[in-house]
Chain A
């Protein structure tokens, strides 16, 4: 087999995988639209997913958000204060934290905690014949397992990003009071003055797109396990790496589109 044959086979496999992923995504979207009508007991799985991805990740998100918000205000005050431009820290808080960091960090935490967990769980379910069991009963694994996880992760990422932003603002205020004691109301009003409607829109779009990408990629990779338990960690790694790449790529696309439009 020469180098062109290998390249051809590799390209064909990539195209087949892309087509397969596209069909999977379409199937998930179609089933999601009819989720409320499905008699498939997926609601409990949905609640469990929101609990696991959203609620249980909350302490970690709040800890990181408080630290990031505080450190940005601290550094901003130190640098900008020297130029007499301390009021610009609010602009930095909005631009850096609200538009970028909050969503990226939340997405990375969700990939590390929930994306890998979803992929591992679904992979193990295949190995243990649990997916075949659902199929044999006539329950669609997409409706029962994937749609509930998909909705759960999207909702959880969205909510966690809101919590992240709130905690980051509180962290920023706490740290700024070290140098310039001020009441929270004043700090919040300055922050809200800099926060535009476009910032909120961009944060909403990004959190939904990131949540969608993480959930779909993790579920797809988990369900790609065929028979052996040794495939599970391999698929989990693929899920994590692909999710990180997808999040970064979508972040760039959305941000660039925002500035172009």
Chain B
């Protein structure tokens, strides 16, 4: 599924925050949104996720303008998109496992628990997640929340995955695991839209990088261009695994 954003403007309390944003992400491609202020990028992802109505402009996902339709009319579209929040986001009155199963149960015509549980087990082993599935979200670490929210997104097998800061709250070991996992998942043909200032994420999976500053697009860079990595390196806002944390 491709994503097309046209002349998008977003305001909060009548102050324009995002101005005239236009870019598109082709099917099976990865778009990384970078910028020195995470606030703008996070807001853009929230608008892409359908949580915040733009003041102007359109967002077409698989040819459907998500803000011109009622919520009931885009449920089928939602099933093909997964969103990973910056700090995880879990329903506090459900256990971690119930949270993980919530979208799968909601989407499945016939829910086969054993199959899903195997996937969850495999991912948990890969990340070495402690046994927290039966606990309430309030009792697990931020690292586990972030990893489990990524697992929740992946087990629905979406066509598009939107991730707000994939390395946030993670130690270096888990950052490397996440990057490797994203690389593998990308090979399966998933479309990514990611907000991250990590050079490693960009180097590993980016097909294009959208640089946003003060609410406007400064530059769009494409991996197919020869001097892509050099262009990226010129951005002084990026960090890598051996530096300080990815997202500030």
Q: How far is the CA of A207 from the CA of B103 in the complex (A)?
A: 36
Could you name 5 residue pairs across A and B whose Cβ atoms are closer than 8 Å? A130-B90, A130-B92, A135-B71, A136-B78, A138-B106
Q: Dominant SS at the A interface?
A: helix
Partner of A129, one of B72, B74, B89, B105: B89
Mark each residue of chain B from 99 to 110: 1 if its CB lies under 8 Å from any CB of chain A, else 0: 000110111000
* B106/A132 in contact, CB under 8 A: no
Partner of B79, one of A40, A133, A138: A138
Q: How far is the CA of A39 from the CA of B110 in the complex (A)?
A: 12
**Which residues of chain B are near A132, meaning CB under 8 Å?**
46, 49, 51, 83, 85, 89
Q: How far is the CA of A134 from the CA of B51 in the complex (A)?
A: 10
Interface residues of A in 90-131 (CB under 8 A from B): 124-125, 128-130
Q: A128-B92, A130-B90 are in contact. Are A136 and B49 (CB under 8 A)?
A: yes
Q: Which of A40, A125, A138: most chain B CB closer than 10 A?
A: A138
Q: A128-B89, A128-B92 are in contact. Are A136 and B50 (CB under 8 A)?
A: yes
Q: How far is the CA of A124 from the CA of B90 in the complex (A)?
A: 12
**Which residues of chain A are near B105, meaning CB under 8 Å?**
41
Interface residues of A in 132-183 (CB under 8 A from B): 132-140
**Which residues of chain A are near B72, meaning CB under 8 Å?**
140
* B92/A136 in contact, CB under 8 A: no
Partner of B106, one of A39, A129, A130: A39
Interface residues of B in 227-243 (CB under 8 A from A): none
Q: A135-B51, A136-B82 are in contact. Are A41 and B106 (CB under 8 A)?
A: yes
Q: How far is the CA of A139 from the CA of B83 in the complex (A)?
A: 13
B27 interfacial contact with A, CB 8 Å: no
Q: How far is the CA of A134 from the CA of B102 in the complex (A)?
A: 9
* B51/A136 in contact, CB under 8 A: yes
B52 nearest in chain A by CB position: A132
Q: What's the interface size class on A, roughly?
A: 10 to 19
Q: Dominant SS at the B interface?
A: mixed
Q: A129-B85, A129-B89, A130-B92 are in contact. Are A137 and B50 (CB under 8 A)?
A: no
Interface residues of A in 182-229 (CB under 8 A from B): none
Sample of 18 further A-B pairs with CB below 8 A, known A128-B89, A129-B87: A40-B106, A41-B102, A41-B105, A128-B92, A130-B89, A130-B90, A132-B46, A132-B85, A132-B89, A133-B83, A133-B90, A135-B71, A136-B51, A136-B78, A137-B102, A138-B75, A138-B79, A138-B107
**Which residues of chain A are near B85, meaning CB under 8 Å?**
129, 132-133
B75 nearest in chain A by CB position: A138
Mark each residue of chain B from 67 to 83: 1 if its CB lies under 8 Å from any CB of chain A, else 0: 00001101100110111
A1 to chain B, nearest CB (A): 15
A53 to chain B, nearest CB (A): 15
B149 nearest in chain A by CB position: A133
B91 interfacial contact with A, CB 8 Å: yes
A261 to chain B, nearest CB (A): 39
**Which residues of chain A are near B82, meaning CB under 8 Å?**
136
Q: A41-B102, A41-B105, A128-B92 are in contact. Are A137 and B78 (CB under 8 A)?
A: yes
**Which residues of chain A are near B79, meaning CB under 8 Å?**
138
B31 to chain A, nearest CB (A): 18
Partner of A137, one of B46, B74, B87, B103: B103
A136 nearest in chain B by CB position: B83
B102 nearest in chain A by CB position: A137
Q: Which of B50, B91, B107: most chain A CB closer than 10 A?
A: B91
**Which residues of chain B are near A135, meaning CB under 8 Å?**
49-51, 71
Q: How far is the CA of A37 from the CA of B91 in the complex (A)?
A: 23
